[in-house]
Amino acid sequence: MQATMTVNETHNPALRSWVSTANIAGCDFPIQNLPFAVFRRQGSHESFRGGVAIGDQILDLAAAAQTGVFTGDAGTAVQAGAQDKLNALMALGPQVWHALRLALSHALREGATEQAALQTCLVPQAQAEYDVPARIGDYTDFYTSVYHATNIGKQFRPDNPLLPNYKWVPIGYHGRASSIGVSGQAFHRPVGQTMAPGATEPSFGPCKRMDIELELGIFIGGGNALGDALHMTEAEDHVFGICLLNDWSARDIQAWEYQPLGPFLAKNFATTISPWVVTLEALAPYRVPFTRPAEDPQPMAYLDSDANRQQGAFDIQLEVGIHTPKMREASQAAATVCRTSYRHAYWTVAQMVTHHTVNGCNLQAGDLLGSGTLSGPTLDQAGALIELTQGGKTPLQFANGEQRVYLEDGDAVVLRGWCEKPGATRIGFGECVGTVLPAKAR
């Protein structure tokens, strides 16, 4: 059994940390989590470096490397994590990742002798700013929610909403890595060509149907050589961890351009990810069986394995909030518009990685895969406004009297993710926040 699938001593709900805020009920970052990010102190000219979340603090890996506390594989991993991006750490592989997680767990537990040395290596998260965790060489966005695919298909192809290949093959397209930003990203409303209903020719101007896409991002760890496909049984050994991802979408631009070759300007202007990457090992208690309806085609042999059927899916709870300028002015919280779970995905992490490489495609450390919009089986679990408003026919009504069909200038979108169940410790992903600014004057 892969280490990433196995519950071990690092998941023990009884563990407590000498960082007291990690022991507070409902904390996103208890000692059982230990996710990674790249950070520096706000407003400083410090170099970015890797860090590990513990409670409301960050363990500075560059500072920790200087203490000499971590040795062996864990020491190698801390040195790699001290760099300005996590690519070197991601490339080390699951054995080294596990050694680091175990060493961190021991060093951060109540009563650990390492406390004296590591106490000075903590930086409050409230004083930190973040960068994208890795140098993302390539970004592939998948389409793993059958509910999202069907809902969108009904709007664009009412007579044939779900194309016949969907249930046989994990669908994806090559996205734009250069415009991926970390939580806090603010971007200008895109402009482009659109074709209004009933018009005889397109017009040019700012997008009028600005949308969100609730997704997860999957960071690749060690890559594979060009020509060497990854088998289902080894695919997850090449996955470092998971973050939150908002793949913003200009729906009116998309409707005009996406056939025959798929998304282009409707998608490449911005993608926002959360700073914290939660490792697959941290998520082991929240694995669930991968199932398919009996009447659907079952995965082809190369996309199937016993381990994937038994626990290839993850029960990650997901939430979308919209925070309008009016809400911010009134100090009101964001309005929750969607709650769903990653367990509803039609294709798993291992299947995405396996399919991506089956033709010999070489993945590299730091590459990012998007899950695609993670809509659940009912419309209140839809991860995009185009679904929640049924193509703009039923506006969302907020408690402060506002309503939205699509996003307006100044709106911020807040994604949250967490895992929670009796007998296991809550594991959180933090937040992924992005804000739409007015289109730039041309």
Which ranges of 306-362 would DSSP assign to H, the alpha helix? 306-311, 325-329, 349-357
List strand residue ranges (DSSP E) for 61-176, in order: 122-124, 128-131, 139-142, 172-174
Q: Is 238 a catalytic residue?
A: no
Contact present, 234 and 224 (Cβ < 8 Å): no
Does residue 369 contact residue 306 with C-beta atoms inside 8 Å? Answer: no
Among residues 312, 144, 166, the alpha carbon closest in space to that of 239 is found at 312
Q: For residue 131, what are the CA distances in angstroms to 79, 139, 175, 417? A: 19, 17, 20, 19
* Catalytic position from the list 11, 98, 148, 238: 148
Helical axes 94-108 vs 72-81, angle rounded to 10°: 90
| C-alpha to C-alpha distance for 100 and 311, rounded to whole angstroms | 24
Q: What is the DSSP letter of 109?
A: B
Distance CA 312, CA 350 (A): 7
The answer to whether the CB of 310 falls within 8 A of the CB of 291 is no
In sequence order, the β-bridge partners of residue 50 are: 38
Catalytic residues: 148
